[in-house]
Amino acid sequence: MNFQALDEIATQCSDNDAAFRLNQSRAELFQLINRFQTKAA
């Protein structure tokens, strides 16, 4: 990975869009973890 590739990724979405995507992914991850913990209990 080089700086040009990182710049291309960085310009694909705004900071707000990136934060929104991060929060969505985080919520999905916690729901997935919660499902596995519920089944294991």
Note the pTM of the prediction, 2 decimals: 0.61
Is-contact 21 13, C-beta < 8 A? yes
Which pLDDT belongs to residue 32?
A: 92
Distance CA 8, CA 41 (A): 44
* Cβ neighbour number for residue 18 with a 10 Å cutoff: 13
Residues 18-39 pLDDT 10s: 999 999 999 999 999 998 887 7
Give kind and range of the element (H or E) at residue 1. Answer: none
Cα–Cα distance measured from residue 17 to residue 28, given in angstroms and rounded to the nearest whole number: 17
Segment 11-24 shows an average pLDDT of 92
